[in-house]
Structure 1
Amino acid sequence: MTGGEAFGAPGIPPTWASSDKDFVTTSLGTARVWASIGHGNVNEIYWPSTGRPEIRDFGFYLIGGGHWVDLKRVCNYTLSKPEPYLPLLTVTHTGDDYRLTLEVLPDPHRDVLLVRYDLEGPYKLGIIAAPHLGESGYDNDAWVDGGLLYASIPARAVCIGADAPMEDQSVGFVGASDGWQDLNAHNRFTYGFTSATGGNIAMSAALSAPKGVIALGIAPHPTGARTLAMSSLAQGYDTVRERFLAGWEAWGSKLSLPAPEADLAEEALTTATVLRTHEDRMFPGAVVASMSTPWGNSTNTLGGYHLVWPRDATLAAFALLAANQVEDARRMLAHMIGVQQPDGHWTQNYFPDGVPFWTGIQLDEAAFPVMLAAKLRELGQPDLPGTTEMVRRAIAFIAKAGPQSDQDRWEENPGISAFTIPVLIAALVAAAPWLDEATRGYALDLADDWNERIEEWCYVTGTPMAEKLGVDGYYVRIAPPEMDGGVTGTLMLRNRNGETIRACALVALDFSYIVRLGLRSATDPKIKDTIKVVDEVLKVDTPSGPVYRRYNEDGYGEHDDGSPYDGNGVGRAWPLLVGERGHLALQAGEDPLLYLKTMRNCASPGGLLPEQVWDAAPIPERHLYPGRPSGSAMPLVWSHAEFLKLLIARQAGRPVELLEAVAKRYGGSVPKAKYTRWRNEVPVPSLCQGRALIIEDREPFTLHLGWDGWQDVADVPAQELPFGLWGVAIEPERYAGRKELNFTRRYTEGWEGKNHTVEIAATEEQRTLTHVSDGAAAAKA
């Protein structure tokens, strides 16, 4: 068949590439192309930002002698690069009668990806590229013109050319008339279709010479894509290569990282480079969570992980800051200032240009940028313009919305998270230099109040799990909202078909930030008991070392048979949690080297750290092996950031996120707040004699109060507090000799319709014992 329109429109439904990747690369010039490599092929190309994959895959095949070789299925290749911090990847495929060497080179000055190839053996090199232009990949057009391959949609176009003639060119619909189907049916390219209009399309050709350079250009229109591809070839591969290496050498030469062992030293340099690679150039400072889509070859999800999560991005900034890449961290903070919402929070995630994707609110994501600003200031860096306004807005949002978050860090449940609450407290303390006297005093006392109550909200004793494991108690993953019973209530497992579990039975490493940020000591008995529980319940021994699951009964991961996560599954082990466990070990005076080695052992052949590793018996037909990357996101920026931070913390003797102001204020101790704050989300069941209470809300109200069964009734109008809050303070002398406070509230629109009681305890010990006893009884119920 030659010429004309391909058959089989519109093709099979498009998907993304597998997230089982070997490597990611980009230049540090002005160009806006990023590429990932997986199974020895280029498997995704992003343009014009890290949030937009435009090519699903760009694969290589050997054709000759009446048969063909699908290199990604043979999967017999090696990887190399000049230095760990120079992401110029060489892939060498070998077989009994062939050797193919590919070098993948993003042009620093043009939106072009170059691939230099050198083939030895009785074959021609075949290429098949599958564009996925736009948001769906369903409506792409492809054609052959002038010896070049083209694909486009409005405002996006691709052109593929080479420095030697391309033969047997064709375009077709995936699953029907594409190049792979042609090879599978005929053992060579035979179709020769010159157009494929409106569908999921692929482009194919054979290279006439055994050595050469292929260029893939991307632009808003086909002529521009051709111009870029042809001019990059005309510039000369060696010149482009030299410029690429010079850009990365200028950046990487600043790195001076710990090197306890050779493989860890290499991984550290690779990790820093991966973090830098994920920064956008169209929107500098934006760092996406991963240039991959979890289980991408089974889904056409638009967002994937190529979105900015403020948490992941700021943790990456902390890692780069620890690696002495200060300007990178400052750029990332500048981006955070630019995309902050008017009310002070950041959206759950967003494209690098700031357009929200998921719009949930995770309070830790409002706090981490404040901590980053504080860390830069602590290191003597001058404030960026806009820092003061950013911090004040963020702290106002935290103070008004907290301590309960609409979502926890795993984006699944509302409540008071053992991870989120210490991050909020640290931000409230760290913000002090940017606040005026009134707001500073309020923020610091609010931090002290929340710090005092961490155990009240997130710690349980006397549960069946505690008794079984021989501990007094432990920190839970999250306490559901008060209306759902708080720490003694139940919550839904979002990835397990809506199953529920008692909050007191759910544990996680989320509590580790209570120690990392200096709010509790790693040797505190409560912390040590929780570590014992986590090690027993969540640790999975693998050939890579001990790896940890997010929480018991998690459902985010492959099914037992290895099939992809599809909204339900079985939660697998996460290398980044090995880093969190390693930080706990470091702060307890142990050497975290074992944890660093385990993380390194989980990496791909190219040094990429995954989101999850397989933690069950091997399933070779699905390429699932214990302790090795699963089908989840890879690389995961969060994993790389955690590895680099732990490596540097091992040398420094303290976590990079531990801020001087927070360490000085708490230092493992728990100072008493001036006020204990009653809010709807965190009522105060009992108050110790001598402690001041303040009843707060987010709108004006009149407090209607009484004592000991509504005696001595009075009405007190709320006073305006900082950060848009309103409250009535009740000093100790006001309730001297009383046993309980009774109150309700009247708002502009009327009475709230509910009465509240606060018991007055004689001593703090009595109050604590009552709380613990009530909690243990509820936990056993």
Structure 2
Amino acid sequence: MAELLDSNQTPGAPGNPLSWSRADKDAVGTAYSLSSQVWYTSAGGVVTEIYFPDVDTPQVRDFQFIITDGATFYHDAQNDFDHQCEWPDAPALSFRITSRARDQPYVIVQDVIAEKGSPCVLVRVTLQGDQAFLDKLHIYALLAPHVGGYGAGNVAHRASTANGDRLVATRGNYWLAMGADCGFGMTSCGFVGVNDGWTDIIANRRLPVWNYDAAKGGYVALTAEIDRAGENQFVVALAFCVDEPTDITASTPNKALIAVSEALAYPFDDPSSTYSHRGVFLEGWHGAVEAPFKPTAGVTSDGDALFELSRNVLLAHEDKTANGAFVASLSIPWGEIVRDLAAGYHMVWPRDMCQSALALLAAGAQDPPLRGLMFLVASQSKHGSFPQKFFIDGNPWLPDAKQLDEYSFPIILAYHLREANLLGQFDPAAMVLAAAGALIANGPMTTQERWEEQEGYSPSTLATNIAALVCAAQWADAATAQFLLEYADFLEAHLEPWCVTTQGTLVPGITQHYIRILPTHNSGGFIFPEDPNTATIQMRGYGGQANTVVDAGFLELVRYGVRAANDPIIVDSVKVVDAVISKTLPQGPAFYRYNHDQYGQGNDGQAWYDGAPFGKGRPWPLLSGERGHYELAAGGDATTYLRALEQFAGPRGLLPEQVWDMPDLANTSFVLGGPTGSAMPLAWAHAEYIKLVRSVSDGRVFDRLDVVAERYQAQPGQPPRARRDIEVWNFARPVPTVAAGKTLRINLPSPFSLHWSSDDWATSKDQGATQTAVGIYYVDLATQAAEAGTSRVFTFFLVDKQRWQGANYSVALRP
């Protein structure tokens, strides 16, 4: 067993606090193998966050090299080189970082993969240049652990093994180990900014003099000289393990050390060998999708390169311990200012995850979307809801907001898999019906819309809710199916009254258009009437009339079939979007989330944080994809939007959350149309690109639900299938009036008896609620047009609690 050296301990704990790395990644990767539970990323010429044993637990902040001749130059891998990152084996997720020294004649090339059979990252380093010059170089590996997701409280050791010295770090029962095939020379464990390798060599401009055995309880860094003995190529291995102590044994790094030794015992890449790491790595990715979809010739501009890479990027965002858990991004937005306990985007959002799963379905993958559905079923709450975002173990990130579109997307995913005959023996009916019930119980307004900021009636949320309810009816008994369809009809009938202003002022000549959202509460109280012409909105940094803020979320109504592309209000709303929240960039048309958005990089390049006074929302490439889908649905040409997405991906082939929309900013990475410091890659953006390629290839929108369109887009000469005569009352929306002649439907998520009167309690009736298979109980009160000016008054007897509600309620019947 390895001996952890401890005698020469490092002074200066805890060291300087260290943030995470930048979020605009140059590359991300993993081996397509369940045995290799490790994910790696790169930015700025170095390896950045490495995740283990699952996709939401980072263990490393960064790994890089220091190069010096010991006398005249001391090169920092991030600051003294010009970098190029590429995919030499695309679409396999191996990447190559080529770094050219700016003031010296040499190049360092790093090829990065994972060992297929263990959680071990392999970095093959090749030095290029005149041999006489290369012989003068001293190469040092510098590793900054953030074990278990924390920089604080780490412990580092030199480890003496039969295979030579290694370096290890730990926190809790997590361990990492580092070794090289050529062995290490000097090694040291230090505290960041005090006595780590960077401070020793770069800051002090000298060959290292510190060689500490152990650094305990702080922000630590591991430094190792590469003992290359004149060789210009070597391999460094970084392996990980979890080792639980027992009553008679302590936690040790042995499993990680073994993984390092085993990985270094085989060639990185040797065509003459029966086994090489790169060979089996590539085999794994080449077989990742058994029957991949091939886009129609000419749809993409790059021979399908971005399409195929996007498919594999999405596959790489799936966890390997909780199969089917797809995270939003292997990045931490604005990580350079974020420290410990940062969830970043390496968590599950049901919305983003279903986008990824559906895109993989569009790309020809069959098992991953089904695994995703099964994961969501296992993650559903007992009440049928889904957390806003959560770790792969199911624990939500708090506070947890109710986002009704995230209740809807799992239903839509299940429906697509059913239509594709890919459910196999798995039956999602219980999940579907429970989610539909939760959608109704917690609606009709959403606590947050898809931008996770505002409550109220959102066109995009309502689009998914309507579509999901229609889909869910396919799993229900006849009576419950009718109930679900009628609730969907209620939502559909209110789309324009809730979400369309008739007094718009943003574009001259267009007074009628969709708004971003209609708020429904003010200081905790309900806002009635629900009027988009008079409602006000308070957003981050902006307050005003709700009808002065627009987004393109209404396009989801067309995507799912709730509204036709040529619907006059949709057409006018597109014109408003083009005038207010679009921008033409060199890459193509781009769109902001909404006007007055403040979630984004500051104008001077400042990293965004919650409460930042300088934030400015930048264009989101995925919105160009959404617009492309609309263009296709409208019978137009989506090519312009496809090309824009391909250009936004840039030479890295990764799509960011946001792109810079100002002139190039000197001395920063921000260039016009390039990524900002938010997430890259964003899985949702890659999903949108895949689906747009598939849609254009098929000549129809991939996400379109015919069962929805058939209900809400009546054909000429045919009567509408949807009901428009129901008004819903519940405690979330105690509507005070209803048009006389409509049916007042009262919903509760528990059994009740309604005690009601139509003559102010002169007489009264009792009516038991009808039960549905989605956990919702309801009573219908019919009204007549002649009853205008009267009211319905009622109270509840709660059957489960065997008590009265204790309050009376009244709904006036208006003409």
Higher mean C-alpha displacement, 155-164 vs 94-103? 94-103
Partner residue, 1:271? 310
**3-state SS, counterpart of residue 134 of structure 1:** helix
Partner residue, 1:740? 789
Provide the rounded CA distance (Å) in 2 between the counterparts of 1:159 and 1:643: 38
Q: Does 1:213 align with 2:213?
A: no
The question of whether the paired residues in 2 share the 8 Å contact of 1:716 and 1:728 is answered with: no
Partner residue, 2:754? 702
Deviation at 1:712? 6.9
**3-state SS, counterpart of residue 561 of structure 2:** coil
Mapping for residues 447-596 of structure 1, pairs under 5 Å: 447-465=488-506, 468-481=507-520, 483-484=526-527, 486=530, 487=532, 488-493=534-539, 495-496=540-541, 499-567=542-610, 568=612, 569-596=615-642
Deviation at 1:115? 0.8
Higher mean C-alpha displacement, 276-285 vs 393-402? 393-402
| Partner residue of 1:149 out of 167, 174, 186 | 167
**3-state SS, counterpart of residue 786 of structure 2:** coil
Higher mean C-alpha displacement, 119-128 vs 199-208? 119-128
| Partner residue of 2:776 out of 725, 734, 749 | 725
Q: What is the identity, as a one-letter code, of the residue corresponding to 1:246? A: E
Mapping for residues 121-520 of structure 1, pairs under 5 Å: 121=129, 122=134, 123-146=137-160, 147-183=165-201, 184-209=203-228, 210-220=232-242, 221-238=252-269, 239-252=276-289, 254-258=291-295, 259-263=298-302, 265-300=304-339, 301-358=341-398, 359-465=400-506, 468-481=507-520, 483-484=526-527, 486=530, 487=532, 488-493=534-539, 495-496=540-541, 499-520=542-563
Provide the rounded CA distance (Å) in 1 between the counterparts of 2:317 and 2:89: 18
Provide the rounded CA distance (Å) in 1 between the counterparts of 2:649 and 2:166: 38
Q: Does 1:93 align with 2:109?
A: no
TM-score with structure 1 setting the length = 0.92
Deviation at 1:264? 6.5
Partner residue, 1:766? none
The question of whether the paired residues in 2 share the 8 Å contact of 1:378 and 1:660 is answered with: no
Q: What is the identity, as a one-letter code, of the residue corresponding to 2:421? A: G
Q: What is the identity, as a one-letter code, of the residue corresponding to 2:76? A: D
Q: What is the identity, as a one-letter code, of the residue corresponding to 2:236? A: I
Mapping for residues 752-771 of structure 1, pairs under 5 Å: 752=807, 755-760=810-815
Provide the rounded CA distance (Å) in 1 between the counterparts of 2:319 and 2:595: 36
The question of whether the paired residues in 2 share the 8 Å contact of 1:171 and 1:203 is answered with: yes
Provide the rounded CA distance (Å) in 2 between the counterparts of 1:751 and 1:744: 13
The question of whether the paired residues in 1 share the 8 Å contact of 2:740 and 2:813 is answered with: no
Provide the rounded CA distance (Å) in 2 between the counterparts of 1:620 and 1:168: 39
| Partner residue of 1:612 out of 654, 658, 669 | 658
Provide the rounded CA distance (Å) in 1 between the counterparts of 2:739 and 2:769: 24
Provide the rounded CA distance (Å) in 1 between the counterparts of 2:778 and 2:311: 47
CA gap 1:145/1:724 in 2 versus in 1, 3 angstroms? closer
CA gap 1:8/1:601 in 2 versus in 1, 3 angstroms? farther
Provide the rounded CA distance (Å) in 1 between the counterparts of 2:714 and 2:671: 41
Q: What is the identity, as a one-letter code, of the residue corresponding to 1:706? A: S
Partner residue, 1:81? 87
Q: Does 1:602 align with 2:648?
A: yes
**3-state SS, counterpart of residue 288 of structure 2:** helix
Provide the rounded CA distance (Å) in 2 between the counterparts of 1:520 and 1:448: 13
| Partner residue of 1:665 out of 694, 708, 711 | 711
Provide the rounded CA distance (Å) in 1 between the counterparts of 2:284 and 2:449: 39
Q: What is the identity, as a one-letter code, of the residue corresponding to 1:719? A: A
Larger helix proportion of the pair: 1
CA gap 1:346/1:696 in 2 versus in 1, 3 angstroms? closer
Q: Deviations over 1:94-126 (max 9, x none)?
A: 235102121101001011111111112432332
| Structure 2 unmatched ranges of 5 or more | 1-5, 243-251, 270-275, 797-802
Higher mean C-alpha displacement, 513-522 vs 169-178? 169-178
Provide the rounded CA distance (Å) in 2 between the counterparts of 1:663 and 1:84: 39
Higher mean C-alpha displacement, 349-358 vs 280-289? 349-358
Q: What is the identity, as a one-letter code, of the residue corresponding to 2:392? A: P
Deviation at 1:541? 2.4
Provide the rounded CA distance (Å) in 2 between the counterparts of 1:750 and 1:285: 43
TM-score with structure 2 setting the length = 0.88
The question of whether the paired residues in 2 share the 8 Å contact of 1:117 and 1:212 is answered with: yes
Q: What is the identity, as a one-letter code, of the residue corresponding to 2:337? A: S
Number of aligned positions between the proteins: 750
Provide the rounded CA distance (Å) in 2 between the counterparts of 1:4 and 1:492: 59
| Structure 1 unmatched ranges of 5 or more | 761-781
| Partner residue of 1:6 out of 6, 10, 15 | 10
Partner residue, 1:765? none
Provide the rounded CA distance (Å) in 2 between the counterparts of 1:689 and 1:758: 5
CA gap 1:580/1:149 in 2 versus in 1, 3 angstroms? same
Q: Deviations over 1:627-647 (max 9, x none)?
A: 110000111101110111111
CA gap 1:75/1:333 in 2 versus in 1, 3 angstroms? farther
Deviation at 1:719? 2.1
The question of whether the paired residues in 2 share the 8 Å contact of 1:745 and 1:751 is answered with: no
Provide the rounded CA distance (Å) in 1 between the counterparts of 2:195 and 2:693: 50
Partner residue, 1:692? 743
Deviation at 1:376? 0.9
Measured on the aligned residues, the alpha-carbon RMSD in Å equals 2.2
Deviation at 1:451? 1.0
Q: What is the identity, as a one-letter code, of the residue corresponding to 1:107? A: E
Higher mean C-alpha displacement, 173-182 vs 676-685? 676-685
CA gap 1:328/1:22 in 2 versus in 1, 3 angstroms? same
Provide the rounded CA distance (Å) in 2 between the counterparts of 1:711 and 1:149: 81
The question of whether the paired residues in 2 share the 8 Å contact of 1:742 and 1:756 is answered with: yes
Q: Deviations over 1:315-370 (max 9, x none)?
A: 11110001110111111111111111111111111112222223222111111111
CA gap 1:542/1:382 in 2 versus in 1, 3 angstroms? closer
| Partner residue of 1:35 out of 37, 40, 52 | 40
Q: What is the identity, as a one-letter code, of the residue corresponding to 1:136? A: Y
Provide the rounded CA distance (Å) in 1 between the counterparts of 2:27 and 2:640: 25
The question of whether the paired residues in 2 share the 8 Å contact of 1:129 and 1:203 is answered with: yes
CA gap 1:501/1:190 in 2 versus in 1, 3 angstroms? farther
